[in-house]
């Protein structure tokens, strides 16, 4: 069977499985639509949380970023993994004990205010749409290469699939679909990693392979070999970083703190029967997440080593088939600047932005570009960083079924998170805005219909953002974490651990953090990208890390405003106290 036929088979079977599960577990009530009825087993919930958590950014983009950024890319590993630990230990059990459906539910009740609830919904929608843009872009990239369609059409196909099981199944359908998606994505990530680790180092464990010797007789370790090959091309060593210490700290902290404010991950802890199960499912999720996250640095290093060996100083006529395949989809490009017919990777970028392909081909058969190209000698090859994991099995010449498996895994990662985010958006609109704010007398049937209509509208917006994304998948996702860190996290944290925080303080803090962080990101990424250099950044902090400053401003404004306004009522003090007391402690004390 051909590789393309295997891809259709694997992707088709996985989609049939997801849709079958969605039909089997169709939500019949708002509780099933929002929190899967609250009866999910901790291990199943741990798998679903891991799938929800490990998005296209984790599966597709993170290793690609590390492959090209080297040491600097480690901020994504440290931030996302550390953030999940913080969420599991610091917030999840308390939120579960509080017993509300959503993050705006918690904020609206804790801060006894419809305005606070509405502001939380606005923050949540900003975060979720920023995040989902990256997922839909990831879906489009996978479809474009493996189903041989344009990225735009790939995004539209992904929208249709997500629409089916998110709108039909709600959280109940999504939870059990995500269990299946986790199994698919982790198998798809680990199998090629193990294969490639054996090929390069002879060690079947990728995590150990990263620290092993390359089995080419050179006697060099993997990272040593990679440093040498990059330095020969004029790049800095792979194991050296170029970011300032403050920027590394702020990006890592923003990703970490943002994780603890991500609404689609927090809602997972409401789907288990009790608070102790929230802790257990968080622990299981951490095990499932660690499998992929500890493998990603090895995948990145192996991919970069193989890519350099396959492409650098190779004539276009002898270019491997995968290079032409990705070029056909507009995700790799070559400019023969010195007219020698060879693809040369050297320091410097010939493109101002992504390649803009013209009609027709050049004398060597390569696709022509209309972009303005730098006249200096330098890099002749453009690579979209989001393709490295997907192209890795082809670059390493692995069997067709492994390539098909990776296609299915990439789609599972992107679709699982997209579905979780869409559900969060629809729940915020139907439950928090309609039911709890503007139309409290709405029937359960009407609320369920509103949730499905909101999910449909969200899918359309997400698709548009996927077709016109403001950056690489992982970068777009990094902005979502910054927005979460600056807006929702302080309100959640102070809502649990500070009895004196009142509604005025929380509202002022959330608005300050969101407006500051969003404005900073929008200015440097959308309005004036030419100014996006370290000299122009506030304190040398990039847009990816600015959420930390937004968070500090949120805390400061909230505390100042709370001091100047009336304290929260006595019943709120009692509510906060009850969240922190272990269940059954009162009975033990009485005896």
Sorted by where each begins, the domain ranges of the chain are 3-303+396-580
Return the pLDDT at 589.
43
pTM tops 0.75: yes
Write out the two tokens for 354: 């992504």
Opening angle at CA 332, ends 329 and 336, nearest 5: 125
Dihedral, CA of residue 142, residue 146, residue 150 and residue 155, to nearest 10? -40
Query: What six digits make up the tokens of 330?
Result: 């507009």
Tokens of 441: 């007398």
Going by the DSSP 8-state scheme, the letter that residue 428 receives in this structure is I
DSSP state of 66: H
The CB-side HSE value for 9 (13 A sphere, CA atoms) comes to 12
Given a contact cutoff of 8 angstroms between Cβ atoms, the answer to whether 334 and 316 are in contact is yes
Using CA atoms, how far apart are residues 47 and 2, in angstroms rounded to an integer? 32
Parallel, antiparallel or unpaired: strands 367-369 and 381-383: unpaired
Q: From CA 546, how far away is CA 243, in angstroms rounded?
A: 14
According to the model, what pLDDT value does residue 25 have? Answer: 63
Q: Facing residues of 342 across strands? A: 315
Run of H or E including 573: helix 570-580
d(CA 22, CA 247): 43
Q: Spell out the residues 6+ positions from residue 173 whose beta carbon is closer than 8 angstroms to its own.
A: 21, 22, 25, 26, 27, 165, 166
What are the DSSP E strand ranges found in 245-299? none
pLDDT at 560: 94
Question: Per-residue confidence of the chain (591 residues) as pLDDT tens digits?
Answer: 788 888 888 888 887 887 787 777 665 555 555 544 455 677 888 888 787 777 666 777 788 878 877 788 888 888 877 887 777 777 777 777 776 656 787 888 888 888 888 888 887 877 777 777 777 777 777 777 777 777 788 888 878 877 776 666 555 667 777 788 888 888 888 999 998 999 888 889 988 888 888 887 778 888 888 887 777 666 677 777 778 888 888 988 888 888 776 666 776 676 666 667 777 877 888 888 888 888 988 888 888 888 888 888 888 888 888 888 888 877 788 887 777 778 877 766 555 556 777 777 777 778 887 765 555 556 678 887 778 888 888 888 888 888 888 888 887 777 777 777 777 777 777 777 777 777 777 777 777 778 778 878 888 887 887 777 655 444 566 677 888 888 888 988 888 888 888 989 999 998 999 899 988 888 887 777 777 777 888 888 888 889 899 999 999 999 999 999 888 888 888 887 877 665 544 444 444
Report phi then psi at 340, rounded to 5: -105, 0
Residue 381's H or E segment, with its range, is: strand 381-383
Fold of 3-303+396-580: Sodium/glucose cotransporter (1.20.1730)
Q: Which two tokens stand for residue 148?
A: 């041989």
What DSSP character marks residue 440? T
Burial class (CB within 10 angstroms; exposed 0-12, middle 13-18, buried 19+) of 589:
exposed
The pLDDT of residue 591: 41
DSSP 236: P
């Amino acid at each position: 069977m051909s590789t393309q036929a295997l891809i259709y088979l694997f992707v088709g079977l996985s989609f049939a499985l997801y849709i079958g599960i969605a039909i089997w577990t169709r939500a019949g009530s708002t509780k099933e639509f929002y929190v899967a009825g609250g009866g999910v087993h901790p291990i199943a919930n741990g798998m679903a949380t891991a799938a929800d958590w490990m998005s296209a950014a984790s599966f597709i983009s993170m290793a690609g970023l590390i492959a090209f950024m080297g040491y600097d890319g480690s901020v994504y590993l440290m931030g996302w993994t550390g953030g999940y630990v913080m969420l599991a230990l610091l917030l999840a059990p308390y939120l579960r004990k509080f017993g509300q459906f959503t993050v705006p539910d918690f904020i609206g009740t804790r801060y006894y205010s419809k305005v606070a609830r509405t502001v939380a919904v606005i923050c949540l929608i900003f975060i979720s749409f920023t995040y989902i843009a990256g997922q839909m872009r990831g879906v489009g990239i996978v479809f474009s290469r493996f189903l041989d369609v344009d990225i735009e059409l790939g995004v539209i196909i992904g929208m249709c699939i997500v629409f089916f099981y998110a709108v039909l199944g709600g959280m109940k359908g999504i939870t059990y679909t995500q269990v299946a998606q986790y199994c698919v994505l982790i198998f798809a990530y680990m199998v090629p990693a193990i294969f490639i680790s054996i090929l390069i180092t002879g060690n079947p464990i990728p995590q150990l392979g990263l620290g092993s010797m390359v089995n080419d007789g050179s006697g060099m370790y993997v990272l040593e070999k990679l440093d040498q090959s990059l330095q020969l091309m004029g790049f800095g060593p792979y194991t050296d970083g170029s970011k300032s210490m403050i920027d590394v700290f702020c990006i890592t902290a923003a990703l970490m703190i943002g994780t603890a404010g991500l609404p689609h991950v927090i809602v997972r802890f409401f789907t288990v029967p009790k608070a102790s199960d929230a802790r257990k499912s968080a622990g299981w999720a951490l095990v499932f997440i660690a499998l992929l996250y500890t493998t990603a640095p090895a995948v990145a290093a192996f991919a970069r080593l193989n890519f350099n060996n396959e492409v650098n100083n190779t004539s276009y006529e002898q270019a491997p088939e995968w290079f032409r395949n990705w070029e056909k989809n507009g995700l790799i490009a070559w400019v023969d600047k010195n007219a020698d017919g060879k693809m040369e990777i050297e320091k410097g970028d010939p493109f101002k932005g992504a390649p803009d392909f013209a009609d027709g081909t050049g004398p060597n058969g390569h696709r022509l570009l209309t972009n303005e190209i730098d006249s200096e000698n330098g890099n002749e090859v453009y690579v979209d960083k989001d393709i490295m994991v997907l192209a890795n099995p082809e670059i390493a010449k692995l069997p067709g079924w492994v390539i098909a498996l990776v296609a299915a895994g990439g789609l599972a990662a992107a679709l699982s998170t997209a579905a979780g985010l869409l559900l969060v958006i629809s729940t915020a609109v139907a439950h928090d805005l309609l039911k709890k704010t503007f139309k409290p007398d709405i029937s359960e049937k009407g609320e369920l219909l509103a949730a499905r209509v909101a999910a449909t509208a969200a899918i359309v917006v997400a698709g548009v953002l996927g077709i016109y994304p403001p950056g690489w998948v992982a970068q777009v996702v990094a902005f979502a974490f910054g927005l979460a860190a600056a807006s929702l996290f302080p309100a959640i944290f102070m809502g649990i651990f500070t009895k004196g925080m009142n509604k005025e303080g929380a509202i002022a803090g959330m608005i300050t953090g969101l407006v500051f962080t969003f404005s900073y990101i929008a200015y440097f990424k959308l309005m004036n990208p030419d100014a996006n250099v370290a000299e122009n950044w506030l304190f040398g902090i990039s847009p990816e890390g600015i959420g930390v400053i937004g968070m500090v401003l949120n805390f400061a404004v909230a505390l100042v405003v709370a001091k100047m306004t009336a304290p929260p009522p006595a019943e709120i003090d009692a509510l906060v106290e009850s969240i922190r007391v272990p269940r059954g402690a009162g009975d033990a004390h009485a005896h």
